[in-house]
Chain A
Amino acid sequence: MKAYIRDIVNGTWSLLVGMTITIRYFFGPVVTLQYPHQTVPMKPRFRGHIDLVLDERKGTNKCIVCNACMKTCPSGCITLEGEKREGVKQKVLTYYQLDFTKCSLCGLCVEVCPTAALDFSKDYNLVGSQESEFVFDLLKRLEERKQ
């Protein structure tokens, strides 16, 4: 009988304690980030898909078409083409395709690039309904970014 009453009293008390905790949270500040309207500034180490780096000085990419990135990529997602042009010492990049559906974000291509022409982008808003939407033409993206 004593244990029965103690159970009831303790139970009721613990329920009340629980309720004081939730009401404190009710009046407490809201911590949600209202995502589409607000975003957190992206951290510098964030690894999105790779992107060509814009060379401020030359106003174009830094790639010398050495093919190192294409060869080192374990998933084989990089395809690139270049051509020799009159009056330019190195080859000029004409096409750079990244198949992001296969990329494992390992970063090997970024590491291996002798001219630091590659970097991770900060783009995380990637959505699409078709696989082909994730095959990027990075050269075109660079041109778009320049404007």
Chain B
Amino acid sequence: MTIDPELLRLLLYLVGFIAFIATNAAYLVWLERKEAGHIQCRIGPKEVGPFGLLQPVADGLKLMTKQLIIPKGADSFLFRLGPVLVMTPAVMCFVTIPYSDTIVARNLDVGLLAIFAFASVNVLGLLLGAWGSRNKYAVISAARVVSQNVAYEIPMLIVIVTMVMVTGTMNLHEVVTTQLGGFWHWNVFRFTASPLMPVAFLIYFVCMLAETNRAPFDMAEAESELIAGAFTEYPGMGFGVFFMGEYANIVVGTSMATILFLGGWDCPFGLWPGLHWFLIKMYALIFTVIWIRWTFPRTTFYSLLNLSWKVLIPVAFANLILTSALLKVL
């Protein structure tokens, strides 16, 4: 019997992605705690293994050994479906992300579109999970998550449309190839397309924070001190899967920022491009995401919606119009 090499390739990528997402989520939690510790003049985890490096393993074991309780009267099908619907689209997003010139699972021509299509399913998962758990607070939280995500998807997509206009393609591989050859070619600094490019990057970044429900936009969850919002009722690994999905989304979001604005795997000085540069940029952005979380207090829900509707959307639109005008003229 011969195995179709294409099938083998897909399987390998799938296994690779899931392994990557799981370890990545675990170690991002570790990084988060370390960074939080150092910002607050503490050390962070340090007891389990060197530098607390085995802490994620211990946490994972703890989560897995916990009993999976389904609340009485909950819709057990939706309750189980919730985490899956959060996790699956996150995994799907990884399919079209090119990590280097050669490392990409599927080089789709509509890669950008695919990612944003998948990324928006995540909200549905949260909503269904909350609805299925038969808990009013979870449903209210889920409603907040949805309104927040809808509010921030708009400016984000406007920025994406701008970027598609600038690069002229939705193929992520090509998006990167148009930026190769040093940091002055990167889209953040492409002032010929629009002088507001760094602002667009900022808007994208803020939207990404809000989309992934990260602080300071995490009032729907507040998992660190109050309750876990939409997934209040989830015990053990159910909660863990939501978390893995959240961290996977952060990785997807920062990867997209890297690809769209920071030249993907390109080296800033035009030397040795490759996977390492992609990872350096991505993890630098993730570091910033965590850094922001431990700097700013949580906003109120009204100022969150105000920020999106009154600031980000108008500015993103202005940038879109300016870019299109400049592209026409130049």
Interface of A toward B, CB cutoff 8 Å: 8, 12, 15, 18-19, 21-23, 25-32, 34
**Closest Cβ of chain B: how far from A29's Cβ, in Å?**
7
For A19, what are the chain B residues with a Cβ–Cβ distance below 8 Å? 291-292, 295
Contact A15 B291 (CB under 8 A): no
Contact stretch, chosen from B34-42, B98-106, B111-119, B127-135: B34-42
Query: Is B43's CB within 8 Å of the partner chain A?
Result: yes
**Closest Cβ of chain A: how far from B41's Cβ, in Å?**
5
Query: Looking across the interface, which residue of chain A has its beta carbon closest to that of B295?
Result: A22
Q: List 16 other contacts, CB 8 Å, given A21-B295, A31-B41, A32-B41.
A: A8-B315, A12-B202, A15-B296, A19-B292, A22-B39, A22-B294, A23-B39, A25-B39, A25-B41, A26-B35, A26-B38, A28-B41, A30-B38, A30-B42, A32-B42, A34-B43
User: How many A-B contacts if CB must be within 8 Å?
Assistant: 38
Interface of B toward A, CB cutoff 8 Å: 35, 37-43, 46, 202, 291-292, 294-296, 311, 315
Query: Looking across the interface, which residue of chain A has its beta carbon closest to that of B315?
Result: A8
For B37, what are the chain A residues with a Cβ–Cβ distance below 8 Å? 30
For B291, what are the chain A residues with a Cβ–Cβ distance below 8 Å? 19, 22-23, 26
Give Cα A23–Cα B40 distance, bound, in whole angstroms. Answer: 10
Query: Looking across the interface, which residue of chain A has its beta carbon closest to that of B310?
Result: A4
Give Cα A25–Cα B35 distance, bound, in whole angstroms. Answer: 10
Give Cα A27–Cα B292 distance, bound, in whole angstroms. Answer: 15
Give Cα A23–Cα B37 distance, bound, in whole angstroms. Answer: 12
Query: Looking across the interface, which residue of chain B has its beta carbon closest to that of A11?
Result: B311
Q: Which of A12, A15, A21, A25 contacts B40 (CB 8 A)?
A: A25
Give Cα A27–Cα B41 distance, bound, in whole angstroms. Answer: 9
For B315, what are the chain A residues with a Cβ–Cβ distance below 8 Å? 8
Query: Looking across the interface, which residue of chain B has its beta carbon closest to that of A19?
Result: B295
**Closest Cβ of chain A: how far from B209's Cβ, in Å?**
12
Q: Looking at A22, A26, A32, which has the most chain B CB atoms within 10 Å of its CB?
A: A26
**Closest Cβ of chain B: how far from A15's Cβ, in Å?**
7
Query: Looking across the interface, which residue of chain A has its beta carbon closest to that of B43?
Result: A30
**Closest Cβ of chain A: how far from B112's Cβ, in Å?**
27
For B296, what are the chain A residues with a Cβ–Cβ distance below 8 Å? 15, 18
**Closest Cβ of chain A: how far from B204's Cβ, in Å?**
15
Query: Looking across the interface, which residue of chain A has its beta carbon closest to that of B314?
Result: A4
Give Cα A18–Cα B46 distance, bound, in whole angstroms. Answer: 27
Would you mind naming 23 contact pairs between A and B with Cβ atoms under 8 Å apart?
Answer: A8-B311, A8-B315, A12-B202, A15-B296, A18-B296, A19-B292, A21-B295, A22-B295, A23-B39, A23-B291, A25-B39, A26-B35, A26-B38, A27-B38, A28-B41, A29-B41, A30-B37, A30-B38, A30-B41, A30-B42, A30-B43, A32-B41, A34-B46
